[in-house]
Structure 1
Amino acid sequence: MPSEQVRGPGTTAVTVRYWAGARAAAGTEQDVVTGSTVGDAVAAVTVLHPTLEAIAAVSTLLLDGRAVTRETVVVDGAVLEVLPPFAGG
C-alpha cells in the first residue's frame, strides 16, 4: 500500500515508483511525497524507508521518463522512478 504525505498549500506532490531492489527495500511499489527537486523527493522517501538510502545513491532516476539529476526541479504530479543497477546490465 503506498504511503502519502499530507500536503500543504504551495507544495509539489511527486509519485515515486520503485523497481527491483528499490521496491524490495521500500516494501511498497510507490509513495507520494512532496519536494521541489528530485533530491527533495529522494530525501523524503529515504526518511520513510531508511533501507532505501544506499540503493537510491546508485540508482538511475527517471522523472516522467527522462534521466535526471537530484538538482532537477519537479512539477506537481510528476512521476519519479528509482531504477537500481540490474545484474548483468
Structure 2
Amino acid sequence: MAAVKGEKTLAELAQQFDVHPNQITTWRSQLLEGAAGVFDSDNASATAEPAIDVKTLHAKIGELTLANDFLAGALGKAGLLPSAKR
C-alpha cells in the first residue's frame, strides 16, 4: 500500500521493508491489476463457490469415522494405543 500511495521513493520503501525494489514493483503491479477485478461485477459469477453436496460430505464423515474406530480398536487390541486412549 505504501508503494501505491507514493509518499516514499522505491529505494526508501525497499530499505524500510528490507526487500528488493523490483519486488515492490512486482507487488504494486499485482495489486493494481487485481484491484480492478474486485469491483468487476462480470467477474463475480466466475468466482462463485461451487455447490456443496451435503449428503456426500456426511457419507465421507461416516466412512472416516468408521475407519478411525476400526483402527483404534485394532491398535488397542495390539497394545499399541497410548494408555490415555485405552
The alignment's TM-score, normalised by the length of structure 1, stands at 0.20
Larger relative contact order (C-alpha < 8 A, sep ≥ 6)? 1
The alignment's TM-score, normalised by the length of structure 2, stands at 0.20
Whichever structure has more helix as a proportion of its residues is 2
**Which has the larger Rg?**
2
Whichever structure has more strand as a proportion of its residues is 1
